[in-house]
Amino acid sequence: MNEASAQPFLPLTRPTIDEETIAGVAEVMRSGWITSGPQMKAFEAALSTYFGGRPVRAFNSGTATLEVALALCNIGPGDEVITTPLSWVATANVILRAGAKPVFVDIDPVTRNIDLTLIEAAITPNTRAIMPVDLAGLPVDRDQLYAIAKKHSLRVIEDAAQSMGARWKGACIGALGDLVSISFHPNKNMTTSEGGCLVLNNEQEAKLAEQHRLQGVVRDADGGMEVDIVGGKFNMTDIAARIGLSQLKQLDSFNLKRTELAQHYFDCFAKTEVGLGGVKQGESEQAIPLGLPVADFTDSNWHMFQITVPFDQLNITRGDFIRAMQSRGIGVGVHYPAIHLFKAYRRLGFKEGDFPHAERIGRETVTLPLFPAMQFNDVDRVCTAIREIISETTSQNKK
C-alpha cells in the first residue's frame, strides 16, 4: 500500500455537525413538533438579526427561494431575466419554470462572476430582473449592479446561494439590496441539511412569500382560511431549523477557518510552483499555467476553492485528472459546466461559442477540498497530488 492510499480519504466537502446540534435535533424529535413550528420561527428571527433586521423567511431549499422571488417580482411568460451561464443549473431552471426567458451574459474571466459591463447591452423592453451569482462566495460588485438596476428600473434577485457570511464593503451579503436568496445545502458554509432563506424588503413582501411557501393559504383567527394565489410546498421543518440555529452561531468560526485554509492553498501553490505560473520540473521546461481564484480575503466567504487546469494543453481529460486525484485518496468536484450547453438549453437555441469565457472556465474548473474540519496538512496533500499528476502527465507526453 502506497503512502497516499494509506491516508484517510479526503472528501471535497463535509458539514461540521457538533454534539450540541445533534442533541438539539433529538429534543425536537421528542417534542412531537417536527415540521414548521417554533424552531423555524426562532431561526427566521435569528437570521433577521444577522441580516440587520430585514424580514427573512426560511424554505426547504435555495431553489425554492429563487422560485418564490421570481413570483414576488411577478415574472412570467414573455419576461426576461438576465443571469450568468456559469452557475448551478437551478439558477436558470427557475427562470424557465416561471415561464420566462433566461438571458445569459458572459462572465468576467478573472472573477468568474457575471460581467457587469455587458449587462446593459443585454437589456430589452422585456427585461424585468437581473439575477447575479456570487460564484464560490466571491461577491459581485453590488455598487455597479444596483446602479444598472436603478437606471433601468429592474428588480434584482441575488442568487447568493454560496454567499452566507460573505461581505460587501463591510456589510454582510443580505443586509442590503433587493431580494436575496441563500442556500443551506449540506455543502454550503452553514447548513440546515437541506434548506434556504429569502431576505425580503418589507413585511408585506414577507407575508406574500409565506403564501407562496405553503399553497397560498392565509388563515384567520377563527380557524378559517382563504387561498387567493396558487402557492407551492416549500416550508422548512423544525428539524432543519434547529440545525440552522446551531450552525448560524458557528458561521463566523467556520468562515474564518475556510479563509485560513484558502490562504494556505495560495501559500502552498506558491511554494510548489503550482498556480498562476504553472508547474515545472526544471528551469528549462515550460510551465503549465493553472488558474487560481481571486485572492479576496476581505469579502469572500471562501465557499469553494476552484482552480482551472488547461486539460487540452496537458493532453488529458478532466475525468483522468479526477480519477488520478481519487487514486490518491482526494475528492474533487466540478462547479460548474456552462449552463447553456446542456441539452435543455441547446434546444432553446444556445450553442457552443455563445459565451466563450464561461465555456472555457466551465471546461477547465476543478474544485478542491475546502471545509472547516480540514487541516493545513490536508491542503499540502492536495497541492502535492496536483503537482505529481501534472508532472507525471508532462513526462508521459514527452515520451
For residue 248, which of 38, 43, 55 has the smallest C-alpha distance? 43
- The string over 330-339, giving b where at least 16 C-beta atoms fall within 10 Å of a residue's C-beta and e elsewhere, is bbbbbbbbbb
pLDDT at residue number 270: 87
Q: Which CATH class is domain 19-246?
A: alpha beta
**Given 188, 207, 233, 398, which residue is catalytic?**
188
Predicted confidence at residue 392, as pLDDT, reads 87
Q: What is the mean pLDDT of residues 3-26?
A: 91
User: Torsion angle, CA of 248/251/254/260, rounded to 10 degrees?
Assistant: 180
pLDDT at residue 3, rounded to an integer:
54
Percent of all residues in the chain with a pLDDT value above 70, rounded to a whole number: 93
Contact between 59 and 161 (Cβ < 8 Å) = no
Is pLDDT of 181 > 80? yes
Strand 127-131 with 155-159, pairing: parallel
pLDDT tens digits, 82-129: 999 999 999 999 999 999 999 999 999 999 999 999 999 999 999 999
- Residue 312 C-alpha cell reads as 487540452
Q: In the CATH scheme, what architecture does the domain 251-398 have? A: Alpha-Beta Complex (3.90)
Q: For the chain, give every residue range classified as CATH 3.40.640.10.
A: 19-246
DSSP state, residue 291: B
Give the per-residue pLDDT at 277. 45
**Residue 5 clears pLDDT 80, i.e. is over it:** no
- Interval 142-167 mean pLDDT: 98
**Which carries the bigger pLDDT value, residue 321 or residue 396?**
321
- Is the predicted pLDDT of residue 4 greater than 80, yes or no? no
User: What is the pTM (predicted TM-score) of this model?
Assistant: 0.94
Question: Which residues does 233 contact at the CB level (< 8 Å), separation at least 6?
Answer: 214, 215
* Structure letter (DSSP) for residue 106: P
SS3 56: strand
Question: Which pLDDT score is estimated for 287?
Answer: 64
188 counts as catalytic: yes
pLDDT in tens, 254-291: 999 999 999 999 999 988 655 444 555 445 455 667 89
How sure is the predictor about 6, in pLDDT bands with cuts at 50, 70 and 90? confident
Distance CA 183, CA 274 (A): 32
CA-angle at 314, arms to 312 and 318, nearest 5°: 65
Q: What is the mean pLDDT of residues 290-306?
A: 97
Evaluate if residue 182 carries a pLDDT over 60.
yes
* pLDDT at residue 284, rounded to an integer: 44
298 sits in the region (left: phi over 0; alpha: psi -120 to 50; else beta) called alpha
Q: Which residue has the cell 460588485?
A: 141
Mean pLDDT across 222-238: 96
Contact 217, 208 (CB under 8 A): no
Domain span(s) for CATH 3.90.1150.10 in the chain:
251-398
Torsion of Cα atoms, 237 then 243 then 249 then 255, to 10°: -110
Lowest mean pLDDT among 76-80, 220-224, 277-281: 277-281
E-assigned strand segments in 24-115 = 56-59, 80-83, 101-104
Which amino acid, 271?
A: K
Q: Which of 102-111, 194-203, 354-363, 385-394 has the lowest mean pLDDT?
A: 385-394
Does 170 have pLDDT greater than 90?
A: yes
Contact status, residue 185 vs residue 14, Cβ threshold 8 Å: no
* Residue 302: per-residue pLDDT: 98
